[in-house]
């Protein structure tokens, strides 16, 4: 029997606010353990939460970017459970009246071949069930001397968005492409840094399978604790195969939470449905309903930048790029801005794309530098492309100049002058060099005259060598042809 996978994703994104969601403590990552705390985020009795306005602004931006409908009134709710990193004994979240609902994204997605290369990009719509606001818990550390554990409450009260998809994904790669896109969008609008390794973006995957053609969903499992995109894809793939195997052998899937173990490349059962929490949600009595009006929404909408998929599509059309190129060039907002500035400076969209995707990306990667801090100004790269197109330097020397530009941050004209790299297009000068080369190689000359015409390349090479590659190659060809007859 053929099976089909059904996947839904729950994403937690840490917001880039300066302070926490309900107090004035710093929300920054990496402070000394428990320094960034106060009675509110320590959950001391009697301390009262006050909602951070910046959190609502960022939630609004994110909801609009993901096409969600924002509820004019939403309600904070207590999600009750006991854990040492949750001093209040409950998390303030949202439950049956969330901040926003019914969103979607329409994005390119593709299966991958054995080498992980995309096979064919196709646009698909994935629905988003809800996006709500909540606070993060602290962090338990089970390290150091047994039997002790430690707790760091710096993260307690850091604002989060929880973004829950509909079960619309039918393969691990669709899920992968969706998470990548969500991350990119949150970064574009500046609300989350998207760092999965540091935990500022976390993703839980719900996975089930069903016989192809069946309309009812199968029993799902939930995979938690995956801390990279690639692991997420692998964990889902593993889980699909595991479930298909059980069903094919006549078994049944148990609804449970499973953990991904990267070292062993498999998932493990963490807890079954019977042990699942009953959170006893109820409305948070210490916070009023959250109200946002249409004016607020319109004001924030006007701050939205061009979103990644819209920008990618525009790049593809306007600059005549491939899907792959347009995706790479819109990977981050700084990259897309950089590209457009290079195009502006040199007037050639294709060459700009080629230079960035080969030379620039290689140098950035080697130096572990982000394009936002690129030592080569976009205008200077554009100028370099112009200098090549106008034959001031050859393409080959252009690549050497580019590496020097990356090392020194100097503009191309300055470097070409300093290093004396201008292309030699002076006919008289080139003729002198050609004469010298011919004089120095009498044997090759007589062989050539005797019919070994493939020695032509030898002479070209000698002239290039004599000029350290600076001779205008087209001109050398013409002059040599004249001279050798």
Give the footprint of ligand ADP on this chain (CB under 6 A).
Answer: 6-10, 164-167, 206-208, 217-218, 220
Query: Which of the listed partners (Zn ion, ligand ADP, none) does 206 bind, with a CB threshold of 5 to 8 Å by partner kind?
Result: ligand ADP
- Cα dihedral angle (413, 414, 420, 425), rounded to 10 degrees? 20
Query: Which of the listed partners (Zn ion, ligand ADP, none) does 217 bind, with a CB threshold of 5 to 8 Å by partner kind?
Result: ligand ADP
Contact flag: residue 47 with Zn ion (CB under 5 A)? no
Q: Give backbone dihedrals phi and psi of 244, rounded to 5 degrees, phi first.
A: -60, -40
Query: Which of the listed partners (Zn ion, ligand ADP, none) does 70 bind, with a CB threshold of 5 to 8 Å by partner kind?
Result: none
Query: Which of the listed partners (ligand ADP, Zn ion, none) does 25 bind, with a CB threshold of 5 to 8 Å by partner kind?
Result: Zn ion
Task: Give the count of beta carbons closer than 10 Å to the beta carbon of residue 316.
Answer: 18
Q: Which is nearer to ligand ADP, 83 or 217 (CB)?
A: 217
Give least dist CB 259 to ligand ADP, A: 16
Question: What is the footprint of Zn ion within residues 60-89 (CB under 5 A)?
Answer: none
Q: Which is nearer to ligand ADP, 91 or 152 (CB)?
A: 91
Q: Which is nearer to Zn ion, 43 or 283 (CB)?
A: 43
Q: Which is nearer to ligand ADP, 215 or 428 (CB)?
A: 215
Contact flag: residue 41 with Zn ion (CB under 5 A)? yes
Element (H, E) at 124: strand 122-135
69 Rama sector, left if φ>0, alpha if ψ -120 to 50, beta otherwise: beta
Q: How far apart are CA 240 and CA 257, in angstroms?
A: 14
CA distances to 118, 230, 247, 465 from 237, rounded to whole Å, are 16, 11, 16, 55
Among the listed residues 33, 38, 54, 424, the single contact to Zn ion using CB under 5 A: 38
Give least dist CB 373 to Zn ion, A: 32
Question: What is the footprint of Zn ion within residues 15-34 (CB under 5 A)?
Answer: 23, 25
Burial of 58 from C-beta contacts in 10 A (0-12 / 13-18 / 19+): buried
Contact flag: residue 5 with Zn ion (CB under 5 A)? no
User: What string of DSSP letters covers 283-335?
Assistant: E-TTSPPEE--HHHHHHHHTT----HHHHHHHHHHHTT--HHHHHHHTSSHHH
Task: Give the count of beta carbons closer than 10 Å to the beta carbon of residue 18.
Answer: 11
Give least dist CB 221 to Zn ion, A: 36
Q: How far apart are CA 224 and CA 190, in angstroms?
A: 26
Q: Which is nearer to Zn ion, 98 or 138 (CB)?
A: 138
Q: Which is nearer to Zn ion, 48 or 440 (CB)?
A: 48
Q: Which is nearer to ligand ADP, 165 or 171 (CB)?
A: 165
Query: Which of the listed partners (ligand ADP, Zn ion, none) does 41 bind, with a CB threshold of 5 to 8 Å by partner kind?
Result: Zn ion
Strand partners, 90: 80
**Interface with Zn ion (CB under 5 A):** 23, 25, 38, 40-41
């Amino acid at each position: 029997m053929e099976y089909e996978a059904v996947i839904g994703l729950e994403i937690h994104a840490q917001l880039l606010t300066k302070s926490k969601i309900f107090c004035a403590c710093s929300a920054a990552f990496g402070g000394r353990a428990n320094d960034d705390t106060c009675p509110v985020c320590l959950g001391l009795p009697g301390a009262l939460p006050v909602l951070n306005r910046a959190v609502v602004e960022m939630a609004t931006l994110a909801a609009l970017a993901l096409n969600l409908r924002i509820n004019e009134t939403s309600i904070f709710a207590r999600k009750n459970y006991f854990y040492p990193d949750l001093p209040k004994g409950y998390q303030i979240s949202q439950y049956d009246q969330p901040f926003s609902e019914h969103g979607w994204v329409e994005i390119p997605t593709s299966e991958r071949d054995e080498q992980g290369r995309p096979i064919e990009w196709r646009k698909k719509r994935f629905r988003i069930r809800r996006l709500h606001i909540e606070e993060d818990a602290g962090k338990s550390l089970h390290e150091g001397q047994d039997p002790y554990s430690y707790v760091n409450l710096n993260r307690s009260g850091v604002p989060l968005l929880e973004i829950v998809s509909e079960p619309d994904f039918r393969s691990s790669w669709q899920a992968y492409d969706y998470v990548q896109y969500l991350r990119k969008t949150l970064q574009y609008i500046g609300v989350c840094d998207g760092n999965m390794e540091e935990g500022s973006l976390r993703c839980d995957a719900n996975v089930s399978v069903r016989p192809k053609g069946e309309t009812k969903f199968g029993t799902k499992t939930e995979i938690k604790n995956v801390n990279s995109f690639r692991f997420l894809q692998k964990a889902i793939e593993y889980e699909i195969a595991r479930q298909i195997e059980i069903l094919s052998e006549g078994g049944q899937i148990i609804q449970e939470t499973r953990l991904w173990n990267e070292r062993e490349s498999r998932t493990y059962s963490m807890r079954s449905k019977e042990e699942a929490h009953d959170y006893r949600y109820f409305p948070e009595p210490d916070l009023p309903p959250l109200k946002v009006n249409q004016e607020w929404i319109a004001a924030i909408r006007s701050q939205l930048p061009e979103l990644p998929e819209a920008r990618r599509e525009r790049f593809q059309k306007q600059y005549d790029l491939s899907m792959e190129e347009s995706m790479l060039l819109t990977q981050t907002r700084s990259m897309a801005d950089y590209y457009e500035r290079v195009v502006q400076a040199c007037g050639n969209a294709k060459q700009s794309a080629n230079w960035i995707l080969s030379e620039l990306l290689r140098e950035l990667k080697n130096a572990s530098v982000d394009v936002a801090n690129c030592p080569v100004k976009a205008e200077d790269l554009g100028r370099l492309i112009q200098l090549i197109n106008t034959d001031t330097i050859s393409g080959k020397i252009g690549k050497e100049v580019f590496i020097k530009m990356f090392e020194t941050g100097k503009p191309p004209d300055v470097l070409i002058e300093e290093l004396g790299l201008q292309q030699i297009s002076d006919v008289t000068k080139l003729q002198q060099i050609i004469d010298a080369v011919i004089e120095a190689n009498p044997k090759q000359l007589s062989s050539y005259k005797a019919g070994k015409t493939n020695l032509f390349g030898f002479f070209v090479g000698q002239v290039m060598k004599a000029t350290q590659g600076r001779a205008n190659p087209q001109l050398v060809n013409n002059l040599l042809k004249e001279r050798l007859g």
